[in-house]
Every structure is written in structure tokens, then in C-alpha cells.
A and B are shown apart, each in its own frame.
Chain A
């Protein structure tokens, strides 16, 4: 399957700082990437849909000014958690659909564990 890579895999930061997480498609072009959040022992919750060259679409209840998404190229999307607080601590996972394949298969990154002190 297609390879999606996230960086960093783990990050610890102080409250009030901003953290950037990168999601890269390594062997394919991704016109659409998705960002998920997962709390311990819970399922994945979609935060936003990132489209290359346009603004991200956020799910209801997700603050777009808090979670900034940039999809500047067909292989890179970034999620920036601004002014992070302890309640933002979570496992953040991105996924991507290989373009121009017309299938629904989404491939996931390894995830990024954010801990806000």
C-alpha cells in the first residue's frame, strides 16, 4: 500500500506554545489529506479535511484558529496546534488518499503523540 509518514512521532511542549505536525505522502500524490484525533481507548475522530491549494474543511466543534492546517503541496500537509493546553494532549493521525486513483482507500500515518505540560 501507499506510504504516509508523520513527524514528529512524539512531542512534549509547554502550555501556551505552538506545535507543528507534518504529514507526508512518500510514494504518491495526495490531493486530499485528513486529520484525526484519538483519545486513549477511543476511536478516531475526524478533525478536518485538507485539500491541496485550498482552505481546510473543519468538522463541527473543531476550532479552525486553534488547529491550523496547511496543505501547500501534493505530498505535504501540516497541522499546527496553536497555544497548546493540556487538554490538547492526544494522538493525532493523518491519512491520505492516493490521487488520481478512484478508490476510497485511505492510508494512515504512524501518528503523533502530543503531550502538553
Chain B
């Protein structure tokens, strides 16, 4: 099956710093999604990307769909303590009745005030 490599596995940063994380795949996807999960909660959708090369922002978050369709990155600018959590990338080949997501292993973000 498709494999997603997400890195880094964890990050410890100071408040105000920028953060970057990325995912690469062994095969192409036609949709990339980024989620954030707080402890004991379900993932919350942050950004959805549908076109190769697409760059999309959501507040301090920016994500890009790689031109090869095998990778995506997420940037967080000027981090704040509430950015703490686990960030997951997810790839999808949507169409027909199949909208299954393949998840990366997650990036644990810790922000020191």
C-alpha cells in the first residue's frame, strides 16, 4: 500500500518561531490534507489541497501540494502556545466512492512560552 513519511517526528520550539513539517509519499495522491490533533480529541482539518503546486493559507498556516504530487509541506508562522499538538498529513485519491485517507505518523509540536 501507499506509504507516507512525515518529518520531523517531533519539534521543540520557542514561542514566536516559525515551524515547517513535511510529508513524502511513495506514490502520487490527488488530494493532501493537514490535520491537527489535541490530546484525547479527534483530528481537526486545517488545510485541504487539491491541485499540484497549490499553495494555500489559513491564518498563520501555509501548506503546499508538491508539484510531483508525492509531497506536501505545512508551515506555521509566529508560533503560539496553543499550536501545541500533533500534526498529521493525509493523502487521498478521491473519486468515485473512495475517499479513504492514508495518514502520516504525525509531528508532535511543543511550543515553549
- Show the binding face of A for B, using Cβ within 8 Å: 1, 4, 6, 32, 34, 42-44, 46, 49, 51, 91, 93, 95, 97, 103-111, 113
Show 5 A/B contacts (Cβ-Cβ < 8 Å), sorted by A.
Answer: A93-B43, A95-B42, A105-B45, A105-B48, A106-B99
Instruction: Give Cα A91 to B38, complex, Å.
Output: 13
Q: Is A103 within 8 A of B42, CB to CB?
A: no
Q: Is the interface of A mostly helix, strand, loop or mixed?
A: strand
Q: Is B65 an interface residue (CB 8 A)?
A: no
6 tightest A-B CB contacts, nearest first: A104-B94, A108-B42, A104-B31, A111-B42, A43-B103, A104-B92
Q: Is B100 within 8 A of A46, CB to CB?
A: yes
Encode B29-70 as 1/0 by CB contact (under 8 A) with A.
001010100001111110010100000000000000000000
Q: Is B103 within 8 A of A44, CB to CB?
A: yes
Q: Is B105 within 8 A of A111, CB to CB?
A: no
Which of B43, B44, B99, B106 sits near A104, CB closer than 8 Å? B99
Q: Is A104 within 8 A of B48, CB to CB?
A: yes
Q: Is B42 within 8 A of A109, CB to CB?
A: yes
Instruction: Give Cα A105 to B94, complex, Å.
Output: 9
Instruction: Give Cα A49 to B97, complex, Å.
Output: 10
Q: List B contacts of A109 (CB < 8 A).
A: 42
Q: List B contacts of A46 (CB < 8 A).
A: 100-101
Number of residues on chain B facing chain A (CB within 8 A)? 22
Instruction: Give Cα A4 to B104, complex, Å.
Output: 22
Best-buried of B31, B48, B97, B99 by chain A (most CB within 10 Å):
B99
Q: Is B73 an interface residue (CB 8 A)?
A: no
Smallest beta-carbon distance A51→chain B, Å: 7
**Given A44-B43, A105-B45, A108-B35, 6 more pairs with CB closer than 8 A:** A34-B101, A43-B105, A44-B101, A46-B101, A105-B33, A110-B41
Q: Is A111 within 8 A of B101, CB to CB?
A: no
Q: Is A108 within 8 A of B44, CB to CB?
A: yes
Q: Is A44 within 8 A of B50, CB to CB?
A: no
Q: Is A113 within 8 A of B100, CB to CB?
A: no
Instruction: Give Cα A95 to B44, complex, Å.
Output: 10
